[in-house]
Structure 1
Amino acid sequence: MVRIKNTTPLQRKMPYYNVLDGWRGFSILCVLAAHMLPVGLSSWHLNQTIGRVGMSIFFTLSGFLIATTLLYHPNIQNFIIRRVLRILPLAWAFLIVALPIVRASSSDYLNHFLFYENLLPDSFTSVTGHYWSLCIEIQFYLFIGLLFAFFKEKGLIFIIPLCLLFTSFRIYFAEPSSHVTLFRVDEIAVGCCLALVKENKLGTTLPQFFRRINPFIPFILLPFFCHQALPTLNYFRAYVAVTLVAATLYQEKSPLTQWLKLKILKYLAKVSYALYIIHPLTYHGWLGSGEGIVKYAKRPISFLLTFGFAHLSTFYYERYWIDLAKRLTKSQKNLYLIPEKSIFKEKF
């Protein structure tokens, strides 16, 4: 049986890994391209592929952040306050604007605002289809929060068998790519496992492997594990994605790692949450109408609107709520859940 090595004091400053900002910036570029641009011929299904690549990396980063945060600052009350005030203000503000535009039903309001619409068939609207990932994130926050509340740091060890169990469910029920939490949450769970590895709680075998593997190998392989023509490979894309992130995390001098430190990727990481939430509304209606050249000729307008509103949201609207969360949790015994220099500077 694997045992967690309990070496974490109550208060430590969380490390900052700038390569992970690079991956976050890269992942949001993948998602925007998948949703807003024609990536090759439609028969190649590359839009779906690049979208899955982006989301697999994003989920890995999210799981890594969640677990590392709890390892360094094991305060569930702070965890809830920080996550709620980081995610809900923009997510709910978008819904307040978007749902009336698409004339959503009253039941749509309920399952969107409570983030369980990914569990219901055909419950998304034309501008909220991307909220499936937010639902999975929030549901996982609740799960890991309860797990940590009952078992503390040792509870994180349960993530390892659960990760394998979730993958086995996907295989058994033939769900290579799903928006239902049970069939997608292994992509977050592997990120939690990586956090345990990085904190030296699961031995030295995996760190040695991550230091030796060429990061370009999982980088090249990941699109194949995300393509819908290869459903069997899709069951294991979470493990390729986590290997990719881990290899760059352990290999500072790798060319891929150096590329991920570009300033533009760091900026994209900061505004990534707002970009993700806002972008579907910028090509709704007239801006998304037409076929071929007519439709995509309007895309520059959509991109300008997306980045403009995302910048304003990140540095003004969301900043207010992040600062409020800091004030509310500052007096707590374990200090900040997410310090000024956290794993991701944008603190999603």
Structure 2
Amino acid sequence: MPGQPAQNRMAAIDGLRAIAVLMVVAFHYLGRWPNDYTGLSIEPMFQFGWLGVDLFFVISGYCIAMTASRAGSLATFWGRRFGRIYPAYIGGVVLTFVLVSSFGLPGKEVSAVQAAGNLVFLNAVLFPPVDGVYWSLIVELKFYFIYGLLLCVSRQPTIILGGMAGLFVLGLGLRLVGIDHFDRIIRPEHIILFLIGAALFFAHAQKSVAQQRPFYLLAGGAFFASFATGVYDAVLPYAAVTLLAGIVVIATRRLPVLSALWPIGLVSYSWYLLHQNIGLLIIRALTDAGFADALAVAGAVTGTFILSVMLYFVFENRTIRKKANQLFEKIFSLLKLNRLANQSA
């Protein structure tokens, strides 16, 4: 809101990240895997928790548009986005691989060669992932490239958002006629979420309520369009509440009471990278040792969260981010990926 310090304005979004990662953690510990795998005896719950990933995509759409608005070249834009996710990703891959290889996790072990392939994202096309949650990073990377290409056409919000909407309609239309090859580029249920976030950023970037209104209307329209993909059919009420709450929080940049969760939001990316396989290791070990379900899950939450805080301070600190941004910007510059469309284009 006007006059709010930037830190306070982002606290609500960090709180929203916290809610998203808590949803995903709850899903993976209590709803995703059968009891004969985890060793837990409680009934599966939080099967809708995977919607936290979709909430992350909406937030990413907002942050990606923000990064692009401050970038003077394509190399700078891609450099900052890669620099944001890659250092912690390296740490997450290595730590998860070492722990899973050392203690064993049936069905989830990979070879050292396959783990090395994960470091350069070959898990997108060739190797199994060190941790299954990495699929969402592949979606992020695809969107970075798509958004960058749109920036080369125009930097006008209406053109960028129109391009995203066009990709959504194209992808959904091809799927409805039985052609799903477009899904390999980016799935329509993902592009629409990034569009919602980007539209909300462009609304905030406008100076008057009249100028903001079309972008808020677009975000609202995209919210309804997201249900046309069919992915939410089994969890429709939960999806509606989750996405609508995300839109309201980002639009107002207010999260009453729960804004206090912002410290969890700060480490949410690192926690997301580490929580699943390492958490399953802990849960299986504690249930095998005879610990109660609640203690086993609490041990996984506590253990992976502590590791995520460590990963955050080692790989997501300001110095590492800055160096990573500069490194990737140089790489993209060497590839002659420098130009963007003029601001007026």
> TM-score under structure 1 normalisation?
0.67
Of 265, 269, 282, the match for 2:265: 269
Root mean square deviation, CA, Å: 4.4
Matches within 5 A, 1:82-161: 82-99=80-97, 101=101, 103-105=109-111, 108-109=114-115, 112-115=118-121, 117-118=123-124, 124-125=128-129, 128-153=131-156, 156-157=160-161, 158-161=163-166
1:204 partner SS: helix
- Offset of 1:189 from its aligned partner? 3.0
- Unaligned runs of at least 5 residues, structure 2: 1-5, 36-41, 102-107, 330-345
Structure 1 distance, partners of 2:19, 2:323, is 29
Structure 2 distance, partners of 1:252, 1:98, is 34
Cα 1:181–1:137 shift into 2, 3 Å:
same
- Offset of 1:171 from its aligned partner? 5.0
Cα 1:252–1:71 shift into 2, 3 Å:
closer
Of 55, 59, 62, the match for 2:60: 62
For residue 163 of structure 1, what is the aligned residue in structure 2? Answer: 168
Of 279, 284, 299, the match for 1:283: 279
For residue 188 of structure 1, what is the aligned residue in structure 2? Answer: 194
Structure 2 distance, partners of 1:115, 1:327, is 20
> What's the % identity of the aligned pairs?
21
Verify the 8 A CA contact 1:60 1:188 in the aligned structure 2: yes
Structure 2 distance, partners of 1:258, 1:133, is 28
For residue 32 of structure 1, what is the aligned residue in structure 2? Answer: 25
For residue 204 of structure 1, what is the aligned residue in structure 2? Answer: 213
Structure 1 distance, partners of 2:122, 2:187, is 12
> TM-score under structure 2 normalisation?
0.67
Structure 2 residue 242 is the aligned partner of structure 1 residue 246:
no
Structure 1 distance, partners of 2:175, 2:264, is 32
Q: How many residues align?
A: 293
Higher alpha-carbon deviation: 83-92 or 130-139? 83-92
- Offset of 1:274 from its aligned partner? 0.6
For residue 318 of structure 1, what is the aligned residue in structure 2? Answer: 316
Matches within 5 A, 1:5-84: 16-38=9-31, 46-52=45-51, 54-84=52-82
For 1:245, the aligned partner's letter is: G
1:258 partner SS: coil
Cα 1:184–1:46 shift into 2, 3 Å:
farther
For 2:247, the aligned partner's letter is: A
2:132 partner SS: coil
Cα 1:56–1:47 shift into 2, 3 Å:
same
CA displacement, residues 85-140 of structure 1 (integer Å, 9 cap, x when unaligned): 221122122223434615524773465233353556xx545x51100001111121
- Offset of 1:295 from its aligned partner? 5.6
For 2:139, the aligned partner's letter is: I
Q: Which has the higher helix share?
A: 2
Structure 1 distance, partners of 2:300, 2:216, is 42
- Offset of 1:172 from its aligned partner? 5.1
Cα 1:304–1:274 shift into 2, 3 Å:
same
Structure 1 distance, partners of 2:7, 2:293, is 45
- Offset of 1:24 from its aligned partner? 0.9
CA displacement, residues 124-159 of structure 1 (integer Å, 9 cap, x when unaligned): 45x511000011111211221233134344652312
For residue 6 of structure 1, what is the aligned residue in structure 2? Answer: none
- Offset of 1:301 from its aligned partner? 2.2
Cα 1:144–1:98 shift into 2, 3 Å:
same
Matches within 5 A, 1:229-244: 229=234, 243-244=244-245
Structure 2 distance, partners of 1:159, 1:303, is 37
Structure 2 distance, partners of 1:107, 1:328, is 25
Compare relative contact order (CA 8 Å, sep 6+) and give the higher one, 1 or 2: 2
Cα 1:164–1:183 shift into 2, 3 Å:
closer
Verify the 8 A CA contact 1:76 1:145 in the aligned structure 2: yes
Matches within 5 A, 1:284-303: 284-285=280-281, 287-288=283-284, 297-303=295-301
